[in-house]
Structure 1
Amino acid sequence: MTKLYEADLYGPIKDHFIKQGYRVNGEVHDCDLTAVKDGNLIIVELKLTLNIDLLLQATRRLRLTDLVYIAIPKPKKQSRKRWNDVEHLLKRLEVGLIIVTVTGNRKSIEFKLHPEPFTRVTNKNHRKKAALLKEIEGRSADYNIGGSNKRKIMTVYKENSIHIACYLKKLGQMSPKALVALGTGEKTPSILQKNYYKWFERVERGIYALTNEGIANLKEYPELVAYYTQKLEGKGE
């Protein structure tokens, strides 16, 4: 396969703008490509990969004109989620994106994004924000280390499961209704029935107990066990 260079991206983009009536020049004051028509200036920065240097370069060009594009070869492999994130970032930066496809001697371009004003207010995801705030409010304390990706993450669901497990360990077999009355939360019946962590078992209709696996797993969360044990003892005072 023939090695690709940044200069290989220049030709098809130049041809496109010339056909649109622009005057095109390469390497003008550190700009890879400039296209001018009726007083409108377009700047295109060329790179073989989309990286932070290219984004910094593009944002510097925004000091000169609102019409800034970055151009890269068509990625060989890219997950849909990551590509959506890339497009979202470029929209926020108000930078356009040109994809250059090279097949043998044939080169074609596709304008994936045009530089347009980004409206922050209408682009907020209120549903996800509400879910995030709900998760934050549901945690009793900060049990996770930011930046960890190989450690077990404490979620509201897991903490709720630990809460239930602590009470079952301390008080023995109980019904969901009795646990809810002690403050384990409205999701208690669902957590017990789904038994996602395999910590619980139904010993008879409407009565649950803690499994050996549940007892063993509680040892991994001493802070939470101490917190909920103290909370339960406070209810008995």
Structure 2
Amino acid sequence: MDHARPRETDLYPPVKALLESQGYTVKGEIGAADIVAVRADEEPVVVELKTAFSLSLFHQGIERQAITDAVYIAVPRGTGRAFQKAIAANTALCRRLGLGLMTVRLKDGLVEIHVDPGPYRPRKSAARKGRLLREFARRTGDPNAGGATRKGLMTAYRQDALRCARVLSELGPTKAALVARAAGVEKARALMADNHYGWFERVGTGIYALCPSGAEALARLGDPDAGSAPASVARDS
């Protein structure tokens, strides 16, 4: 057997042996199903075989759910981090779709069941929901097109950084407390101290100035509050 180029039929004997060890009678290629397993007075088990994860494999699994709730998909077990990530992602997908997932280690026929078929009951994350809604509320306007790449997105944090940059551009080196008031950014001191974008420079105790990269970013990205009157704040004496 050439394990470098597995065939769907290579998966059949190990999966059949596993199901038979559990008391099922197993037959291949029954109707549209790759494997059907029957045990007295129970729902039949259907297993769809593929040599790799694919959209068509999930489509087939969903179609078989018209026959029985006990549907598995099975693929050869790979190695390495990429396959482990694929297993984690596709296990989660199978759980959402109500499908079971098996992998077959072809060198010795070991079959591992990663998830059994069953109804999906999503667990909501209050923390994630809270972060989502806070970002939505803090974001000024709608500066990003849906579907854009994550890199360079205009987040609420970036908008706050631009507000601080605008104040420093207007006033020059300024105390952080004054920047916070003028920019309307409560956490301006921490934002400029963290200097995530490399736009700010501390030039004295609690005093920050705008770096050339910050001035360039302000010119390129613009004022997030454009259209509203800019803050007019006298420099502290």
1:76 to 74, 79, 82: 79
Amino acid in structure 2 at the alignment position of 1:190: A
Amino acid in structure 1 at the alignment position of 2:193: Q
Change (3 A) 1:82 1:191: farther
Aligned twin of 1:29: 31
Aligned twin of 1:65: 68
Aligned twin of 1:232: 231
- Residues 49-99 of structure 1, C-alpha deviations (whole Å, 9 max, x = no match): 111111111111111111110000013342655533321111111111111
CA distance in 1, matches of 2:19, 2:103: 15
Worse-matched range after superposition: 149-158 or 67-76: 149-158
Aligned twin of 1:148: 148
TM-score by length of 2: 0.88
CA distance in 1, matches of 2:115, 2:191: 45
2:102 to 84, 98, 101: 98
CA distance in 1, matches of 2:158, 2:218: 11
Tell me the SS of whatever aligns to 2:168.
helix
The question of whether the paired residues in 1 share the 8 Å contact of 2:183 and 2:231 is answered with: no
1:154-173 aligned within 5 A: 154-173=154-173
Aligned twin of 2:129: 129
The question of whether the paired residues in 2 share the 8 Å contact of 1:162 and 1:225 is answered with: no
The question of whether the paired residues in 1 share the 8 Å contact of 2:164 and 2:180 is answered with: no
Tell me the SS of whatever aligns to 1:202.
strand
Aligned twin of 1:49: 52
**2:222 is the alignment partner of 1:218:** no
Amino acid in structure 2 at the alignment position of 1:84: A
The question of whether the paired residues in 2 share the 8 Å contact of 1:218 and 1:225 is answered with: no
